[in-house]
Amino acid sequence: MTYDANKSDIHDIERSRWAAVLVGIGAMAALDEIVFHQLLQWHHFFDFSTPAFGILSDGLLHAFELLAVVVGVFLLLELSQRGRLSVAWAKAGFFLGMGGFQLFDGLINHKILRLHQIRYGVDPLMYDLVWNAFAIGFLLIGAWFWRRARVLPAR
């Protein structure tokens, strides 16, 4: 008998993954916003305008991250209550969401769109390398959980 990692009579694997991806995206965005935008005050989401617009852009990022976490958590709770949550796939989704957000922010927002840098007044190369290394680390953890979930019976 062959085990199909994407099918389960009991668990909703795809919804478990995607709900956790939302939570991972929201968690990473929150960590970024709290640490780098508020506590360290190194940058705003959009830096090239007035300080008031920078704060507004941070507020919009905060609303997005909160929405992602709330929607993801409610989806996970609903799956859990119906006994259809696949914890193994949700773990993979969470770390893939974190790493995906981090890498998107590091490459698209920082380098392509140039919405902001991690820190100003210094050479950003080391900050960018560390930022993207963490993103790749989260993605690798997510890939490890994905691989593990594929070989385990759905649970």
pLDDT of 154 strictly over 60: no
Q: Which residues contact 89 (CB under 8 A, 6 or more apart)?
A: 11, 13, 16, 17, 20, 146, 149, 154
- Local confidence band at 9 (pLDDT 50, 70, 90 cut-offs): low
User: Residue 5 and residue 91: Cα distance in Å, rounded?
Assistant: 15
pLDDT of 102 strictly over 90: yes
pLDDT at 3: 41
Q: Which whole number is the average pLDDT over 83-89?
A: 96
CA distance to 63, 69, 76, per residue, from 30 (Å) = 10, 9, 19
pLDDT at 1: 33
pLDDT of 55 strictly over 50: yes
Q: DSSP letter string over 94-152?
A: HHHHHHHHHHHIIIIIIIIS----S-SSS-THHHHHHHHHHHHHHHHHHHHHHHHHHHS
Q: Mean pLDDT highest for which of 104-113, 117-126, 138-147?
A: 138-147
User: Residue 72 and residue 85: Cα distance in Å, rounded?
Assistant: 12
pLDDT at 103: 98
Q: Mean pLDDT highest for which of 8-17, 49-58, 63-72?
A: 63-72
Query: Does the reported pTM lie above 0.85?
Result: yes
Q: Which residue has the higher pLDDT, 135 or 111?
A: 135
Q: What is the 3 state secondary structure string of 11-42?
A: CCHHHHHHHHHHHHHHHHHHHHHHHHHHHCCC
pLDDT at 2: 37
pLDDT at 4: 46
pLDDT at 135: 98
